């Protein structure tokens, strides 16, 4: 099904937040942002039915929940039923569980406190220059007209000239994608890029990580994503996800890796960014 952007605002909806105001992370962050975009929700908060009731709200009749994933671990002392699904030492195993549950956007609920109904979509940003949060990343980026790519052997990114992109938004999206790849390099998050060109599964996982990271960056920074760009993102994610059908947990893993990559990149523009930059140099 082709992507259709039903909202008028130039960027993705704001970063999804839990009932307590804490942001969702990983898989839930980008999937709930996508659901908000599809349905045109302008509010960031997502609540379970019981959470809405506890706050004095009522989910409107006919509204449908969006799926979220609860990730839990449990340490056991005995043999796991599925040894491949558990890790640990000889004294116990760590079992990992995924459980789906339903959440409603504040736009689907009446009677919540007023703070839940603020429009949290990011303000429009100047797109004529690379966002300062991305410009602060100490990666070596060479604009020489090359196809966009991160080269681990040289630890640099090569890009087309900014004016060669179809739009500033496309430039920012591609730059974000390659910067997420850059986080995988030695001395940074080290995601094992040495297997990228020899293992199709490893390549698919890394590309999914980079593309999901691109969307998370846009959501976090309030970068505009046109309908055309969103169609490209959706097609790209779908093409790589098909290569990972034998490992259902891969999408969760890619989501977690993307979250870590985004946090790593944005830390350079935070007060402690200079300190991290020195550590990563």
- For the stretch 257-272, pLDDT in tens is 999 999 999 999 987 5
Q: Exposed, middle or buried, 232 (CB in 10 Å: 0-12/13-18/19+)?
A: middle
Burial group, residue 125, by CB count within 10 angstroms (0-12, 13-18, 19+): middle
Q: CB-side exposure of 103: number of CA atoms within 13 Å?
A: 24
Q: How confident is the model at residue 280 (pLDDT cuts 50, 70, 90)?
A: very low
Q: Which residues of 152-189 are buried (b: 16+ CB within 10 A; e: fewer)?
A: eeeeebbbbeeeebeebbbbbbbbbbbbbbbbbbeebb
Distance separating alpha carbons of residues 179 and 60, to the nearest angstrom = 42
Confidence of residue 229 (pLDDT cuts 50, 70, 90): low
**What pLDDT, on a 0 to 100 scale, did the predictor assign at position 91?**
52
Average pLDDT, the chain: 81
- The pLDDT, as a whole number, for residue 35 is 84
Which residue has better confidence, 104 or 39?
Answer: 104
Q: Which two tokens stand for residue 74?
A: 């449990």
Per DSSP, what are the bridge partners of residue 48? none
User: What mean pLDDT is predicted for residues 63-68?
Assistant: 94
Short-list 185, 165, 183, CA closest to 174: 165
Annotated domain spans of the chain: 26-117, 132-280
- pLDDT at residue 220 is higher than 90: no
pLDDT at 12: 56
Q: Which residue is associated with the tokens 């505009």? A: 224
- 8-12, 48-52, 115-119: which has the minimum mean pLDDT? 8-12
> What pLDDT, on a 0 to 100 scale, did the predictor assign at position 137?
97
pLDDT reading at 99 higher than 80: yes
Dump pLDDT digits (tens) for 155-189: 999 999 999 988 888 899 899 999 999 999 999 99
Count CB-CB contacts under 10 A for residue 101.
Answer: 11
Could you tell me which residue, 69 or 271, shows the higher pLDDT?
69
**% of the chain with per-residue pLDDT over 70:** 73
pLDDT for residue 244: 64
Q: Give the model confidence (pLDDT) of 129-152 as tens digits.
A: 889 999 999 999 999 999 999 999
pTM (global) more than 0.85: no
Does 236 score more than 70 pLDDT?
A: no
């Amino acid at each position: 099904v082709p992507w259709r952007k039903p909202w008028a605002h130039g960027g993705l909806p704001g970063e999804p937040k839990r009932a307590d105001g804490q942001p969702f992370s990983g898989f839930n962050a980008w999937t709930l942002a996508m659901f908000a975009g599809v349905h045109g929700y302008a509010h960031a908060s997502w609540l379970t039915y019981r959470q809405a009731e506890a706050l004095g709200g009522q989910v409107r009749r006919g509204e449908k929940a969006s799926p979220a994933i609860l990730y839990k671990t449990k340490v056991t002392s005995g043999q796991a039923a599925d040894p491949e699904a558990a890790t640990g030492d000889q004294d116990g195993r760590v079992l990992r569980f995924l459980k789906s549950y339903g959440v409603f956007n504040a736009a689907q609920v009446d009677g919540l406190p007023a703070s839940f109904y603020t429009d949290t979509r990011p303000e429009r940003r100047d797109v004529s220059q690379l966002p300062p949060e991305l410009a602060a990343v100490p990666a070596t980026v060479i604009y020489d007209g090359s196809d966009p790519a991160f080269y681990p052997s040289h630890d640099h990114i090569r890009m087309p000239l900014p004016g060669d992109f179809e739009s500033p938004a496309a430039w920012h999206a591609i730059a974000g994608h390659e910067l997420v790849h850059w986080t995988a390099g030695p001395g940074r998050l080290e995601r094992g890029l040495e297997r990228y060109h020899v293992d199709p599964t490893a390549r698919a996982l890394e590309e999914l990580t980079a593309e999901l990271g691109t969307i998370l960056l846009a959501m976090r920074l309030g970068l505009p994503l046109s309908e055309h760009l969103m169609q490209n993102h959706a097609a790209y994610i779908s093409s790589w996800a098909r290569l990972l059908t034998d490992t259902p947990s891969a999408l969760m893993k890619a989501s977690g890796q993307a979250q870590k990559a985004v946090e790593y990149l944005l830390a350079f523009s935070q007060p402690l960014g200079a300190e991290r930059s020195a550590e990563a140099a």
